[in-house]
Amino acid sequence: MGWIRPARFSHRIRLGPVQELYDKALERVRAQDPAGAAELLEQVLAADPDHAGAHFQLGNLRRDQGDDSAAERHFTRAVALAPQHAQSHNNLGVVQEVTGRSEEAVASYRCAVRAKPSLTQAYLNLGRLLMQLGRREEAAQCYRDGVTSSDKPSIFVHLLAALEGRATAAAPAEYVRATFDGFARHFDERLIGTFDYHVPEAIGRSIRDIRRFAPKSAAVLDLGCGTGLSGAVLADVAQRMVGVDVSGGMLQEARARGCYHELAEAEILGWMQAAQPEQFDVIVAADVLVYFGDLGPIFAQAMRLLKPGGLFAFSIEVSRDADFRLQDSGRYAQSAAYIERLAKDHGFAVAVRADQPIRKPIVGLLYVLSRPGGSWIKRLLGKS
């Protein structure tokens, strides 16, 4: 579910000392000083308890701090004071959803899209929640409304294709960005705590089982690096760590980990195509290829960017009836036969293929492919 953090709240702009305090609070928000921002916002509300903008901003800060009760209290007050502020309705819906009150969340998301029909994140939140509740036709109508009214219609074209079982080659970058920008700060807690996600650790173990890198000796490319979970796992072997992601919100979290030497906000395939060849020892794509159907171009670029003897490690969800399939979730699944055919066609050897829990309750496959060449492979095969 997606969180919205506009820098300014347009309802009832005040003049004078209260507005000056509020503007200073917004400066602290932009400077990523939550404690300073919260202190100033509390002063605003002490002077003017009906300042809707302060309630909205303080709700965002309390949610970031994990205080859902306080966040809900502020968002509830914000929507009472400013019923047409769509972002407050959306963020109230997020708190209601994470605290298990799905029907209340549906109502809040519907209020958000009525208040601002162009608000992409509210359509996304509403449609996904309706899908979780098994209300497919309502979700489809939400996505149709998103196509005609939202400011990013390509997202809902993709989700409608998923619901209708139509094949597409890849998810649009706008869809991936919108999916992750909204909950970057809570991504790790949700993915690990709720979905028991441990793909990066499994990839790290598999890479080390195949090839023993000396400390700080490898050039690593982390595709779809997200908040940096894979980067943290491989930091001890990385002399150079490059992360690429389409979501600026996720990159902000990855930057805070301190394990990347370079971070690029870019669409993965375009970045790979523009990069210099044979510069990486390891390429990782943990839970990333689920946003691509046709993996041929990715495999071609991975082979081009790897040094001889380099490793390409990734996870997939599994299709049983087609090379690749767009699922209801908006994510893609590929078949093992398709992956292994692509590996052969692009010159890779399959070093590891293993069942791998992706996220509850999905079990997929983990692969490590190797590019031929490199002295370590010769030693492994007893040819040196």
Does position 13 have pLDDT exceeding 90, yes or no?
no
Domain boundary among 166, 195, 211: 166
Distance CA 8, CA 57 (A): 9
Q: What percent of the chain has pLDDT over 70?
A: 90
Domain range holding 352?
Answer: 187-380
Distance CA 360, CA 356 (A): 11
Residues 158 and 28 placed together within one structural domain of the fold: yes
Least confident stretch, 82-86, 190-194, 302-306, 367-371: 190-194
- The domain total for the chain is 2
Distance CA 293, CA 152 (A): 21
Residues 149 and 203 placed together within one structural domain of the fold: no
Residues 271 and 368 placed together within one structural domain of the fold: yes
pLDDT at 77 (0 to 100): 98
Residues 26 and 133 placed together within one structural domain of the fold: yes
Closest by CA to 285, choosing from 311, 258, 251, 248, is: 311
Residue 178 within a domain: no
Concatenating the DSSP letter of every residue in 238-276 gives EEEEEEEES-HHHHHHHHHH---SEEEES-HHHHHHHSP
pTM of the predicted protein model: 0.84
CATH code (residue 208): 3.40.50.150
Q: Please, is 246 exposed, middle or buried when counting C-beta atoms within 10 Å of its C-beta (0-12, 13-18, 19+)? A: buried
Residues 41 and 90 placed together within one structural domain of the fold: yes
pLDDT at 383 (0 to 100): 40
Q: pLDDT, tens digit, for every residue of 149-208? A: 999 999 999 999 999 988 788 999 999 998 887 665 666 566 666 667 889 999 999 999
pLDDT at 7 (0 to 100): 42
**59-69 burial by CB neighbour count: b if 16+ within 10 A, else e?**
bbbbbeeeebe
Q: What percent of the chain has pLDDT over 90?
A: 82
Closest by CA to 280, choosing from 175, 196, 370, is: 370
Crossing angle for the helix pair 336-345 and 296-305, to the nearest 10 degrees: 40
Least confident stretch, 43-52, 103-112, 168-177: 168-177
Residues 77 and 138 placed together within one structural domain of the fold: yes
CB atoms within 10 A of CB 366: 21
